Structure 1
Amino acid sequence: MNLKEIYSELLTNIGFRESEIEQNWLDLKKAYSNKSRYYHNLTHINDMVECFEIYADQLKFPNEVLFSIFYHDYVYKSSKKDNELKSAEYAVKILPKETNLNSKLVFDMICATQLHQYNEIEDINWLIDFDLKILARDWNEYQIYFEQIRKEYRIYPDFLYKPGRAKALKHFLEHEFIFQTKSFRDLFEEKARANIEKEILLLT
């Protein structure tokens, strides 16, 4: 299935009417296709959905995780620090009154993608890891990723951007682990750390 089909099936399963699904898809597509989005776009969502499909059998709340994937970057402005909160508020607001989805959990899941820190709810850890899997791509793909991030922050000159980006990257390295699930640590931790260290060198 393509992204729209996966999205439509999810919304059908959690109580949306057909007319609402089409409009919500158009709204979602418009938000993620904004010309200022070089990384936080539908390609990123598609990558996360692919991760979700691989690990769905590990999840206790698959619908909540999938819905959170679609909406976790719905609001994204590089100059703002409340994108995740605004995205979470929007995601919960559009849910039907009669839904089998845990709206509180969705809200918490989306907010958790801001700090990417360990959570007692394991499904949140899976969501965080899906979001960060880009960090463990092959170097040429990782390089495309950080160049896309730079474009999203193009309003900032290098003398502001580089120290800020380096600080954010070092924050990942200061923790015992970048990834929160054992599966992702075993597969991707080493590669992600190597990529981050290499990018930091380029920034300094």
Structure 2
Amino acid sequence: MYIAILSVVAIVAAFLAVRLALPRTDGQVSVQRLVRCAVIAAVYVVLCLVLAPFSYGAVQVRIAEALCLLPVFGAEYIIGVTLGCFLANLFGSTIIDVIFGTIATLLACLVTYRLRNLRIKGLAIPASLPPVLFNAVIVGIEITLFFTDYTAMSAPVWLLCITNGISVGIGELISCTVLGVALVKLIESNTALKRIFTEK
């Protein structure tokens, strides 16, 4: 029941935010683009909440992060994924994670969009690396400074930041470089899916 209510809230919030944020062509926002963004934001939230034990904390494999590769198919996904991350952190984490996690996702999606045409052996591997790097650095530092009692530990803060960053980065590699790249390949190799994800 809780997940269902949050899902409805996420869809409505995503729909309204995307309606305001998407660039307009001839005074109109494409209905397809609007719906895609709202649905992706909601899917991100639902995946995080349903898989909550894996979605939050220093050791995490946030399956929803695979969606960070969707900007490969259009700039509108930057909004959808970032909004989804914001709402997922708002519902399931702390205000610190709402701020820093959302910033990391936004930056990652922006750079992923810039790398959208690069391929290694036909795979969107370069586009999968920004989420790994931004989350490893930003969330790694966040976890160390705000959620670790580093004053009670003998290791220096910089070493704890690196350790937490590596932990977050490994989870992001699984989510983005494995699952996300596979998702992009699936969409690109299926005509019907590609039309759904790219139709203007």
What TM-score do you get using the length of structure 1 for normalisation? 0.37
- Quick one: higher RCO (CA 8 Å, sep 6+), 1 or 2? 2
Decide which structure has greater helix share: 2
